[in-house]
Amino acid sequence: MPELPEVETIAQTLSPLVCGRTILGVELLNAKSLDGPLPLETLLHRRVKAVGRRGKLLLIHLEERSASPAKTEVTGLAVHLKMTGRLFVYAHDTKAAAHARAIFHLSDGNRLLFDDTRKFGYLRVMSPETLSTWDFWNRLGPEPLETDAAAFAARFRGRGAAMKALLLDQTVIAGVGNIYADESLFRAGIAPATRAREVSDARLEKLHAALQDVLHEAIRACGSSIRDYRTAQGDAGAFQNAFRVYGRMGKACVNCGRTLEGGRVAGRSTVWCTHCQY
DNA sequence: TCCTCCCTGTTC
DNA sequence: GAACAGGGAGGA
């Protein structure tokens, strides 16, 4: 379940393995793993310039072909890993993984593999046109690590939905999933089902700080590996060892020692402390 | 604003 | 052999 810290880690580890290489071949092994109007072949003979991230989307940027690129110019590839998506670079003579959905042949002889057991993830070729018509892209909220406390609070203030539902809503803030929603709400002392309009500005600003802290700590730990997530180099992250509530239902609260509560909030499994969060 | 569905491997 | 994991689209 790659969220912001995991996608950021993948971008950082993938970058040195693909930058400067030209895409010489493409293979789409599962038709539904490609989203949007442009085929993967539009990426052929283009050189990778950089690897970035926006929300939970991993972005592979291509070098421009001319000084004044046309509107139809392909600029890169967006990858949404959803729950089980992975990106690996491997030598050409290595056997492809069991759940390979797309393979890119690189000019250094290696291959970039998009592997996705549950087929929820997707690739989307980017151009100015395919971005401007992409609703999900256009509606993405601000990056939580690039938003100040006042702007963050303003996106929650007065709203009737549960705090957890808003944290998970990518149009409110981009990049937060189930793990970091629960972890940041615990650190801020806010119960997940609390309506946003019931939460004071001071507490919203506390949540802003808690979310930034937990995201920074997770990035430093190379993300959280529950089962599927790996860096582009195949390594597991370490932040799962620092979870205070996620996956700890029925265990003792690290703060007060009481038993952590579990349930469903915003349609997602949720863990919190009824004593420390309100 | 909230619910169901898409997918498959793992766990109970 | 069913429940569960869950991001986001789509519909109520």
Share the mean pLDDT of chain A.
93
Q: Which residue is nearest to nucleotide B5 (CA to C1')?
A: A120
Which of left, alpha, beta for A250 (phi over 0: left; psi -120 to 50: alpha)?
A: left
Q: Is A111 (CB) below 7 Å from strand C?
A: no
Please state, in angstroms and rounded to a whole number, the distance separating the CA atoms of residues A43 and A234. Answer: 25
- Angstrom distance, A219 CA to C3 C1': 32
- Angstrom distance, A67 CA to B7 C1': 43
Q: Is A120 (CB) below 7 Å from strand C?
A: yes
> Tens of pLDDT along A216-270?
999 999 999 877 778 888 888 899 999 999 999 999 999 999 999 999 999 899 9
Cβ(A11)–Cβ(A58) below 8 Å: yes
Q: Is A177 (CB) below 7 Å from strand C?
A: yes
Active-site annotation of A, residues = 2-3, 56, 268
- Report chain A's C-alpha Rg in angstroms: 20
- Angstrom distance, A265 CA to C4 C1': 15
> Tens of pLDDT along A76-134?
999 999 989 999 998 876 766 779 999 999 999 999 999 999 899 999 999 999 999 99
Protein-proximal nucleotides of chain B (any atom < 7 Å from a CB): 1-10
